[in-house]
Structure 1
Amino acid sequence: MNSTHDIPDPRPVYARAAGQLARTVAAVGPGHLSAATPCAEYDVRALLGHVVGGTRRIAAVAEGGSAEGPDVPAWTSEVPAEEWPRLYDEASARLTAAWADDTLLDAPVTVPWGRVPGRIALAGSVMETVTHTWDLARALGRDQELDEELAAFALTVAQRALPAEGREHVPFGAVRSAPQDAGAQARLVAWLGRDPEWSAPTADR
């Protein structure tokens, strides 16, 4: 995903995606934190830490800082369920403010997947946000309410940024099959190596 000519300003899409994720985070209760998610390496608590930490890192990129940092911050284990909505809201507000300058969209920035124009970095953040919203919503049994337009945008980004082959050095599994009549959300998660039919064995629903 190297050309910027046909990539619109991702900021309005990010705002919608962040709002959708915020509503999902607000549904997390204490009994959910140790529940499994479609990301085998994350329970709900670790997924929340990954999301908040990643959002802060993309904000830091626009602020002139670094996107480096632990995948799951150490403080994650100490956060009670009721604090996660505030932490995510603060992180997404910081990201929005950091990317407010239009000139950043075409300025080169360094993110974990390379040095790219800002709009591509932010489009990648939309993909991450939408995908992890599905991860969390599916863990909570709330994925039927997700926005298919957001998933379609994220799927386009994913297919341009992440080829089907040669995934040995990226944190995504092999492409999985999705039902022929599957919507954008199922096709997105299948492209990113998740099982679209995954269901949580112990989610408190």
Structure 2
Amino acid sequence: MDTTTDPRPLLARAAQQLARLIAAVPAGRYDDPTPCEDFDVRALVGHLTGGAHAFAAIGETGRVAGRITPPEGVPDDGWAAAFDAARARLAAAWADDARLDMPVTVPWGALSGRDYLFSGCVMEMAAHAWDLSRALGDPFPLDEELGACALEWAQRIMPAERRGEGVPFGPVRPAPEGADVYGRLAAWLGREV
């Protein structure tokens, strides 16, 4: 994908896809496991909501404020609204075109806001959309263009040899033959597909 393009439409689609998945979580399924070993459904939704706030803070300040922390005290039936508020903040934080060219410092280096949105936000949201979708039994098809963009960026910033201590992704795993782009993304990021 041409990184001179505006990533915000893809970011909005990624956030909308997650909002749709979060709204689809049935009552009683928040304790279910996900392919992301660190998270059950509740913890994953909390991570996604906290992540949207953290991505917004980077847009507001140009730097990482700390670890992603989920908001506290959100009841299971309140996660859809909590995520909607976080994605509204995220959109507002990056609405100014000048933000796309501002320098952003993240754990994997210094880059433009534009590249951060592609390599951090869109990639993270697409990867976790697959996790949540799988946990819910794949309630609807995922956006293939988002998945392709995320896979391209994952391969660029997370090469296979860059795994191990301090890297939040496991070793690259083989994707099954015929895996869709999200399955290939998940395998690239160390998930068992």
TM-score under structure 1 normalisation?
A: 0.86
Residue 121 (structure 2) pairs with residue 128 (structure 1): no
**SS at structure 1 position matched to 2:175:** coil
Structure 1 residues 143 and 187, CA gap change in structure 2 (3 angstroms): farther
Structure 1 residues 99 and 74, CA gap change in structure 2 (3 angstroms): closer
* Aligned-partner Cα distance in 1 for 2:67–2:41: 17
**SS at structure 2 position matched to 1:30:** coil
Look up the match of 2:12.
Answer: 15
Task: For structure 2, list consecutive stretches of 5 or more residues without a partner in the other structure.
Answer: none
Paired residues, number: 191
Look up the match of 1:186.
Answer: 183
- Runs of 4+ in structure 1 off by over 3 angstroms are 4-7, 69-74
Look up the match of 2:22.
Answer: 25
Residue 65 (structure 2) pairs with residue 68 (structure 1): yes
CA displacement at 1:127 relative to structure 2: 0.6
Q: Which segment drifts farther, 168-177 or 180-189?
A: 180-189
**SS at structure 2 position matched to 1:85:** helix
Which structure is richer in relative contact order (CA contacts within 8 A, separation 6 or more)? 1
Task: For structure 1, list consecutive stretches of 5 or more residues without a partner in the other structure.
Answer: 197-205
1:31-70, aligned counterparts within 5 Å?
A: 31-64=28-61, 66-70=63-67
**SS at structure 2 position matched to 1:152:** helix
CA displacement at 1:113 relative to structure 2: 3.2
Structure 1 residues 6 and 79, CA gap change in structure 2 (3 angstroms): closer
Structure 1 residues 5 and 12, CA gap change in structure 2 (3 angstroms): closer
Identity of aligned residues (%): 54
Q: RMSD of the alignment, in Å?
A: 1.9
* Aligned-partner Cα distance in 1 for 2:37–2:5: 33
* Aligned-partner Cα distance in 1 for 2:104–2:76: 33
